[in-house]
Amino acid sequence: MANSPQARKRVRQIERRTAVNRARRSRIRTFIKKVERALDAGDGATAAVALKAAQPELMRGVTKGVFHKNTASRKISRLAQRVKTLQTAAA
């Protein structure tokens, strides 16, 4: 248990920061799910639009410290690859 005033303040700050990061992570996951739903439905155009919206959200998560840079890059790369495969198969 935090005994000093400084330690109590740090606990309050960590709780606020945790709530913000949790919301940010949830928002990013929602953007990723939109891309995956479009991919599962076989809709290449919607998937491409959703991916274009998800990319800046993922990278914003990196700058805010929610995700590691390589993790976000890997997720974007894998989604982009799936979108491209779907679009070339449809064409």
Task: Specify the pLDDT at position 90.
Answer: 75
Return d(Cα 45, Cα 39) in angstroms, integer. 9
Task: Specify the pLDDT at position 48.
Answer: 96
First CA to last CA distance, the chain: 62
- By residue range, what is the domain housing residue 34? 5-90
Return d(Cα 37, Cα 88) in angstroms, integer. 18
Q: Under a CB-based contact definition with an 8 Å cutoff, are residues 83 and 49 in contact? A: no
Task: Specify the pLDDT at position 89.
Answer: 84
pTM of the model as a whole: 0.88
pLDDT of 76 > 80? The answer is yes
pLDDT of 4 > 80? The answer is yes
Does 89 or 9 have the greater pLDDT score? 9
What does the pLDDT look like over 11-62, one tens digit per residue?
A: 999 999 999 999 999 999 999 999 999 999 999 999 999 999 999 999 999 9
* CATH at 78: 1.20.58.110
Number of domains in the chain: 1
Return d(Cα 7, Cα 53) in angstroms, integer. 40
